Structure formats: C-alpha cells, structure tokens
A and B are shown apart, each in its own frame.
Chain A
Amino acid sequence: MHLTNAEERILSGENGEVLERMFRLLVQLGDIYGADRMIPVRSAQVAGVSYKSIGDPGVEFLEDYAAKNAKVRIVTFLNPAGMDIEDWQKLNVPKGFAEKQLRIMSAFKKMGIVVSATCTPYLAGNLPRFREHIAWSESSAISFSNSVIGARTNREGGPSALAAALCGVTPNYGLHLDENRKAQIFVEVSAKLEDNADFGALGYVVGKQVKNRIPYFRGIKDADTDQLKALGAAMAASGAVALYHAEDLTPEAHLMETKGLEKLTVADKDIEETFSKLSTGKEPDIVILGCPHSSLREIMTIARKLEGKKLKKPLWVCTSRMVREAANRMGFTQTIEMAGGKVVADTCMVVSPIEDMGYKTTAVNSGKAANYLPGFCKQNVIFGRLDTLLEKVTA
C-alpha cells in the first residue's frame, strides 16, 4: 500500500503510541485486503460500548487510550450502552455493572466521541451522504448507510472503526470501491410484507442463506425506512450482509446487473416458518421493542396502540436519547408510561443485562433481537408482529 510521508511518520511513532498502534492496524488491514492507499473518512460509528459486550479487557483497552490523550479527528458517534446512562438506577441495573459502564462512557467522551449511545446514528444526528466514505461498525447501521443511503463503509469491527476515527482515514478496499458493490444473489420476494416484523423475518431468512454476499431484492412493493432498517439489521445478524439492493427502493439498485445470478425465492410460508422457528417461548415476562433503536414514527405507532390500555407485563421501547426527547415533547412517552410501559434511552435488550434482572422470556418484533437473545441473554423468545405482541400483554 502507498503511504504518504505524513503517514510514514505516524507509523514511526512521531504522533504518539496510540496513533502508531491504531494506524498500524489500518495498514495491516489494508495490506491484507489489497488497498492501494488510505482514504479520508467523514464520520465513524464505534461499536463495543456495553460492559456486558466488552468486559474488563475492553474497559482497560479504552481507558489506556483515553489516558494517553487519544482524540478522534472526525465526527464519531457511539453504539448503545448496557444501561440508560442517566436513569439506570430506576431500571434495576446492578451497581457493579453501572460503575464499569460509566467508566467506559467517560473514556469515550475523553477521546472526543459523541456519547450518542445509539445503533441508529442516522436518526440521531450523524447522517452521511450518498457515496460518502465512512468507517462504521454496528452491523445494522453499516447495512443502512451502505444500502439505504448509498454511503460507503466496510463491516468495521469496533476497534477498526475506532482506529479510523482516531486517524481520520481508512484503507481503500472492499465496499469503498464500485466493483465490490455489485449484486451477487437475486432474491425474489413473493411474500406479503406489512408489519415491520415481516421485514425482520425476511432479513433473518435471507441472511442465513446468503451469508456474506450482496443480495438484490425484487418484489418488495413498498417499504419505509423503519422497515428497511429492520430488514438490514436481521440480515446482518443471521448473516454478514453489509450491503443489499432493493429494486425501486435503494439508490444503487438501478445500476445493478442481475442476469445470471443465483436465485432465491421467499414466499409467505418462509416468513411464517421464521416466526415460529425463532419463537422458543410461550408467555412473555417482558416485551422489548426497538432493535435497532426505534424511530419517532415507531414510537408514535406504539403510543397510539397503547392509548387508554393497561399493560399486564413490563414493556420497554428502546431508542436514542435524541429521539426520546422528541417523544417526550409530543407526549408519546407519557402515553406509553400511562399504560405501564417505559421508553428506555441509550441501551437495548441485547446489550443490557436482562438475564440478571429476572426475565426469562422476552417478546420482540425484531429479527435481529430474536437472533441474539437466546444465546447472549439466555432468553426464551417470542418473535411476532407488533399487534400480536401487544395483544398478549394488554388487558
């Protein structure tokens, strides 16, 4: 890989130990994947924030960098934490966990990272443009920015996104290049998709089969950004899909050649089978919505359905603090609270220690959450459409 004189000097340690180490990681990745040079990136999204996810090794790693005065060079947003950073005491978060989580947040903040604590930076103030080079981790946000916006990022791991944030560059390979963004498998959808959960189920079933390839969807008649978010998130969880194209819905779809591609079909029965396959529980202890974090439209929909109702079981709606502010202002939060639910900011069901909070069976409307909850959170799962889930828990 070609390095500029300034870049060579970073490697020789002239800009300090942290930058040297982080830049070396980027050079190694560039060499492996055949990058010709480094390219500037405009923004970063850093994953690996919850104490539950990164543990003590992660805390030490981040505090070491913060102590050595590492500072990000570009707008950098942060993934969800393991708890609501401001209201954690009200949510029964174990104290030892909270202390470690707050140390992690301080370390990120010291590095100049916006402690946005959301997996949907594009709904909370970090919105890239079409064809912009960025370095994001968070598999669902990668899928959304590449596919729905048409920005360009590889599937960065938490530390490689941090490296790009600190160095302001990323190696030029993979999805930064036109030739690697081509469709690789054709997916014909005959299934009727209505609820957001249907898109999650579609994503789960397709991700499982296409693994790390780039799918091209035909037959999705319409979808809003919440539904495309659900689709991409599930595909990135059951598989490693970083980019998808959907005919008439995503910005690069019309550039794609689909002749001769291997073909996959998804019918109604595949969607129904996915719901039943991922549902391992019967009666929910809690309903958790918002994986990825809910948009204001999703919160509005939930609030309208809960108006005047009483919940028999706890219900969380997870979102970013920025979106919750708007929900508060519009009274959606209050409506959900009147019914007995909570609008939880900064965190979600996957990265919070729900298994230590007495919950055994969690109901979700997210294909991504249904994928992670059984293993990582030791939960039985009920995966269903919003109305079905609310019916189970309202009087």
Chain B
Amino acid sequence: METMRGRTISPGRVEGESLVSKEPIGFYGGIDAKTGIFIEKGHELEGKSVKGKILVFPCGKGSTVGSYVIYGLAKNNQAPLAIVNKETETIVATGVILAGIPCVDRIPVEKISTGDRLVVDATAGTVSLTKKGQ
C-alpha cells in the first residue's frame, strides 16, 4: 500500500473502489444529477455511474453550474464517496464543501487505475492506494 499526501479540500474519511477518468470532468452536462450516470457523449466514462465510487480525475472543466450538480448528486443519493484530483478548481471545491463529500487534491492521479482500492483521509489530506489484484 502506498500513501500519497495532498491538500484537504473537504474533510472526511472513506474507503472504496476508484473510478478513474484521465480526461477532465465537467459535472454540468457531464453527469446526470438524478441517476449519477455520465451522459457526456464520447467521454471515457460515458454510461458509468459515480455512485459509491471514489471518483479520480485530473481537474474540472466547463460550466460553473457544476457545483449544483455535485450538490444535487448528494441530495439524490447518487454521489461519489469521495473525489481525488490533481488540481481541484473552485467549482468542484464549492460543490464538495456544500455537499459534504470528502475531497483531496495535489495527488498524482496517474498512479491510480479504475478498480484500485483507496483509503481517502481527506481530513489529513492523504490517499492510500492498493493496486487491483494485490
């Protein structure tokens, strides 16, 4: 298990399985707040659900309404367990703070693959990684 140290965006501690996007994510127009499913055509996670996963992506993109989509995902019980970024922008930070979703950034996300086990201690700003199959 490898522990990586980053920056606290929104506190909390969870364990779970990762869902990784190498591309940036725009929550508005990217994910349906009612179902938690990726709807952006041609996105590498199109059709996948974020519910109960630790969502890992480099940075945000697109609409500033994304904060409300993150808040809506939580209210509709479709939210990811946590979010891990290379760089969290204000739009995602606002969303996770309002929604109470643990979030850490400044993590080398390229080390993480979909299906890896993660322990996200957002309060301490750490992410512990166990590669799939290990």
Contacts and interface: CB of A to CB of B under 8 A. Distances in A.
B65 A54 contact: yes
A211 interface: yes
Chain A: interface secondary structure? helix
B12 to A, nearest CB: 13
A240 B24 contact: yes
A48 B65 contact: yes
Nearest to A170: B90
A160 B90 contact: yes
A156 B65 contact: no
A159 B71 contact: yes
Contact of B61 (A29, A53, A157, A211): A211
Interface string A355-390: 000000000000000011011100000000000000
A334 interface: no
B67 A158 contact: yes
A53 B88 CA distance: 22
Contacts of B75: 56-57
Contacts of B116: none
B28 A240 contact: no
Contact of B95 (A33, A157, A280, A350): A157
Interface residues of A, number: 43
A161 B75 CA distance: 21
A53 B42 CA distance: 21
Contacts of B68: 48, 53-54, 57-58, 157-159
Interface string A234-250: 00111110000000000
Given A29-B94, A58-B72, A138 B29 contact: no
B64 A57 contact: no
B87 interface: yes
B89 A240 contact: yes
Contact of A240 (B7, B60, B72): B60
Contacts of B69: 53
Nearest to A374: B41
7 contacts: A57-B68, A137-B64, A155-B64, A157-B93, A161-B64, A372-B29, A376-B39
